[in-house]
Amino acid sequence: MAFAKKIVVVAVGLSDEMFEMLKPLKDMDFLAHSEIHFIHVFNTTNFTSVFSDFPVIYPIEVDHKTIEQSVLALMDKMTKDVLPRGFEGKIVRKCFFDDIPKSKFCEYVNEKSADLVIVPTRKKRGIFESSFAKYVNNHTQANMLLLK
């Protein structure tokens, strides 16, 4: 399939069921020669204080590297088990930090001019009841593949 040759971006969460949600990738032979980006955006939170003029951002900057290394190690382990058999393409794993994760994810998709975005969704919801999937659909030009 030509639409998934250049760059395929896969949204990766850190939930326990993420491995199961991404298992269908193993049977997608059309991805065997693609450049696949596994992306996680860690949600940062701003805390304002009455006693300070500056907000406190969690996680603090010095913790970013440690968190990023942990996330990338988890993704490395997981992606090896979910890639299609005979995968010969390129793998890119990235962890970003942002207070609006879905916006940062879409910014990355648009910046890379991705051909396809794969979003695992929870079975409890309808296809576009997931605010993340709906947001990505509305804010990127890439084709989307939703895994249920």
Total-model pTM:
0.84
pLDDT at 126: 55
pLDDT at 85: 85
The segments of the chain whose pLDDT lies below 50 read none
Rounded CA-CA distance 74/72 in Å is 5
Token pair of 80 as six digits: 């090896």
Predicted confidence (pLDDT) per residue in 1-13, tens digit: 555 667 788 888 8
pLDDT at 129: 57
pLDDT at 18: 84
Predicted confidence (pLDDT) per residue in 20-34, tens digit: 888 899 999 888 889
Rounded CA-CA distance 11/130 in Å is 13
Look at residues 43, 45, 65 and name the one whose alpha carbon lies nearest to residue 55.
45
